[in-house]
């Protein structure tokens, strides 16, 4: 517990009085009290000496606003993704103590992010639980409160966030704001979820639910690499579809009849860890979801829902469809759904149940909350005309490669055994790469290509880049992004690597004579950058370099 001074309590009261109806305040530091509150929230972590850039960021934001006014609204991509700051969970844990969790995600990623999650008693106005987190050069950050001894439920949770996006610039203004959530009350047992769930014995990513987009219906479950597959042969872009089947039992009967936005409310959204940003389920798609919920015929306190996965063209299922946003290839999505119902006791009391993605799904402390794995959507490949170099030097069409084949992985002639392969229908833009040596390759935007300067996604290649080939090197002659319609393929020469125990290895093979990354290379590439302090420093303004050094030292000491 943190006992606040009267002055600090007054700042909380002031902020409560000016918070918008949606509970999200973007600070206006021309208001001195908002600035004082943000500084207080930043200092509560007690590590200002290690991370002096946190306060410097607030000072720069204040100076910017005093000169230019408020920053523009949160950006939104043409694909519909937007910056998102949320408090998904606030409730008692299974041992009866209060806890909360929050998340922040920024479209295109952030250079730095600092989060402070504060749970305040509405009675004493003191802090009964708190958590802090920071990170650099990523796209999504979560935070949870540390273990608390307080069993108070009459509380508010506040998520203070501040971040920078400009690489190496001290002129661009940092961003900062606050999100508030009141206690859920009306606790219940955890929801029971049967989908999404693990259905395959050989998942591509063991830490996630694996969904293949543009894959045959048969490429799911069993010993495939996907838990679910969506056959979208006519799509010119992938659409996120998430099966959602389960139930929640409340402490007493649910008010009837169920009326959306009256006595029954759903809040459903996803956040993208890779590209950044979040997406709320739009009203049209949400209407379809509401229709899949019903009160159990044998238990009027139990709510059931069924939005199943597809099995075939004639049985396409009825999943949650995020039709308002375009799924990029290789997206790791965090899914959140909060269900609120009015109970039939006559006093209009609310009860809540929550399903949320978590990096530690087996740890389930919040009462009324089901933690599930994040969802790994896979939609990236090489063109069907690609030839792969086998261990004996033979050139074989990538479409003919099968698990167990041996492929050459470097110029020394070393080989790897193919763990598995995949293919998918692709109708959309791809990159056409041609070298001065005459090598040509068709690749999706994030397929990793090996160059003299290291692994590089296809979309970031430059014409002066020198690519690694079977016989040496060859300079890029041209790169173009053009439409493509047809099958695309990929294969795995490495196993999935847990980010917490990453060994720095990037799986590779030769495609049309060029050394490229395997299906796990995209994740490995991002991990290599995230663990390179020199690279991270280049992504942030100079005044944050001390913060980066402290961050890496803390990781080393952990």
pLDDT digits (tens, 9 = 90+) for 410-424: 988 899 998 877 776
% of the chain beyond a pLDDT of 70: 91
What per-residue confidence (pLDDT) applies to 213? 79
Least confident piece of the model among 13-17, 81-85, 242-246: 81-85
| Residue 293: pLDDT over 70 | yes
3-state secondary structure of 255: coil
Least confident piece of the model among 342-356, 442-456, 497-511: 497-511
What per-residue confidence (pLDDT) applies to 356? 94
Q: Which CATH class is domain 382-518?
A: mainly beta
Positive or negative, the CA dihedral 221, 226, 229, 234 is: negative
3-state secondary structure of 435: strand
Superfamily (CATH H level) for 6-180: Interleukin-17 receptor A/B, fibronectin-III-like domain 2 (2.60.40.2150)
Are 174 and 163 contacting, i.e. CB atoms less than 8 angstroms apart? yes
pTM of the predicted protein model: 0.86
Task: Note the pLDDT tens digit of each residue in 476-507.
Answer: 999 999 888 777 888 888 876 666 655 667 88
What per-residue confidence (pLDDT) applies to 77? 59
Task: Note the pLDDT tens digit of each residue in 174-219.
Answer: 999 999 998 766 556 789 999 999 999 989 889 999 998 777 888 8
User: Average pLDDT for residues 43-58, to the nearest whole number?
Assistant: 94
Give the integer Cα–Cα distance in Å for 430 and 362.
Answer: 38
Give the integer Cα–Cα distance in Å for 14 and 9.
Answer: 9
What per-residue confidence (pLDDT) applies to 216? 82
Give the integer Cα–Cα distance in Å for 504 and 557.
Answer: 19
Least confident piece of the model among 68-72, 104-108, 231-235, 325-329: 231-235
Question: What is the spatial order of strands in the sheet that 293-295 belongs to?
Answer: 192-195, 244-249, 302-307, 293-295
What per-residue confidence (pLDDT) applies to 362? 63
What per-residue confidence (pLDDT) applies to 168? 46
Give the integer Cα–Cα distance in Å for 530 and 110.
Answer: 12
Positive or negative, the CA dihedral 38, 169, 524, 478 is: positive
| Residue 461: pLDDT over 80 | yes
List of residues 6+ apart from 46 with CB closer than 8 A = none
How confident is the prediction for the chain on average, in pLDDT?
Answer: 89
Give the integer Cα–Cα distance in Å for 37 and 160.
Answer: 10
What per-residue confidence (pLDDT) applies to 283? 87
CA angle 385/386/391 to nearest 5° reads 140
Name the token pair of 542. 């100079």
Strand partners, 181: 157
Listed residue (201, 277, 216, 212) closest to 241, CA to CA: 212
| Residue 426: pLDDT over 80 | no
Per the model's pLDDT, the better-predicted residue between 214 and 57 turns out to be: 57
Domain extents for the chain? 6-180, 192-378, 382-518
Are 519 and 492 contacting, i.e. CB atoms less than 8 angstroms apart? yes
Least confident piece of the model among 72-81, 129-138, 259-268, 446-455: 72-81
What per-residue confidence (pLDDT) applies to 172? 62
Kind of pairing, strands 155-164 and 192-195? unpaired
């Amino acid at each position: 517990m943190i006992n606040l001074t009267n002055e600090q309590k007054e700042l909380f009261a002031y902020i409560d009085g000016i918070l918008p109806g949606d509970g999200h305040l973007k600070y206006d530091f021309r208001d001195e009290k908002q600035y004082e509150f943000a500084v207080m929230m930043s200092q509560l972590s007690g590590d200002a000496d290690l991370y002096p850039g946190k306060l410097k960021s607030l000072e720069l934001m204040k100076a910017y606003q005093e000169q230019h006014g408020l920053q523009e609204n949160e950006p939104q991509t043409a694909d519909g993704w937007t910056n998102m700051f949320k408090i998904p969970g606030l409730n008692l844990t299974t041992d009866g103590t209060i806890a909360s969790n929050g998340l922040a995600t920024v479209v295109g990623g952030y250079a730095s992010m600092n989060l402070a999650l504060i749970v305040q008693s509405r009675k004493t106005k003191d802090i009964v639980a708190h958590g802090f987190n920071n990170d650099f050069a990523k796209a999504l950050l979560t935070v949870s409160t540390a273990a608390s001894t307080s069993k108070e439920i009459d509380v508010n949770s506040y998520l203070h966030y501040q971040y920078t996006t400009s690489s190496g610039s001290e002129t661009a203004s940092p961003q900062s704001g606050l999100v508030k959530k009141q206690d859920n009350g009306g606790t219940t047992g955890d929801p029971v979820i049967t989908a999404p769930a693990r259905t395959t014995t050989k998942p591509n990513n063991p830490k996630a639910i694996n969904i293949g987009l543009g894959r045959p219906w048969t490429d799911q479950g069993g010993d495939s690499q996907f838990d679910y597959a969506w056959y979208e042969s006519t799509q010119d872009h992938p659409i996120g579809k998430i099966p959602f089947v389960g139930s929640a039992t409340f402490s007493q009967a649910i008010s009837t009849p169920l009326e959306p936005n009256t006595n029954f409310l759903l809040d459903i959204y996803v956040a993208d860890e890779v590209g950044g940003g979040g997406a709320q389920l739009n009203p049209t798609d949400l209407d379809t979801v509401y229709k899949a919920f019903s009160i159990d015929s044998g238990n009027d306190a139990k709510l059931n829902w069924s939005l199943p996965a597809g099995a075939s063209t004639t049985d396409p299922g009825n999943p949650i469809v995020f039709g308002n946003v375009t799924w990029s290839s290789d997206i790791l999505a965090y899914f959140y759904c909060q269900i609120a119902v009015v109970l039939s006791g006559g006093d209009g009391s609310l009860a809540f149940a929550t399903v949320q993605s978590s990096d530690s799904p087996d740890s389930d402390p919040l009462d009324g909350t089901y933690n599930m794995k994040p969802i790994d959507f896979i939609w990236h490949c090489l063109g069907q005309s690609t030839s792969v170099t086998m261990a004996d030097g033979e050139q074989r069409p990538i479409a003919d490669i099968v698990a167990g084949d041996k492929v050459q992985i470097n110029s020394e002639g070393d080989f790897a055994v193919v763990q598995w392969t995949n293919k998918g229908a692709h109708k959309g833009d791809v990159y056409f790469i041609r070298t001065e040596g005459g090598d040509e390759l068709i690749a999706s935007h994030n397929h990793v290509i090996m160059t003299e300067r290291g692994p590089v996604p296809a979309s970031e290649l430059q014409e002066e880049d020198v690519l690694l080939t079977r016989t040496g090197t060859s300079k890029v002659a041209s790169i173009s992004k053009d439409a493509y319609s047809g099958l695309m393929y990929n294969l795995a020469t490495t196993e999935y690597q847990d980010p917490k125990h990453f060994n720095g290895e990037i799986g590779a093979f030769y495609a049309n004579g060029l050394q490229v990354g395997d299906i796990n290379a995209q994740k490995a590439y991002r991990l290599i950058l995230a663990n390179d302090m020199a690279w991270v420093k280049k992504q942030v303004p100079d005044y944050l370099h001390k913060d980066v050094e402290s961050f890496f030292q803390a990781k080393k000491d952990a």
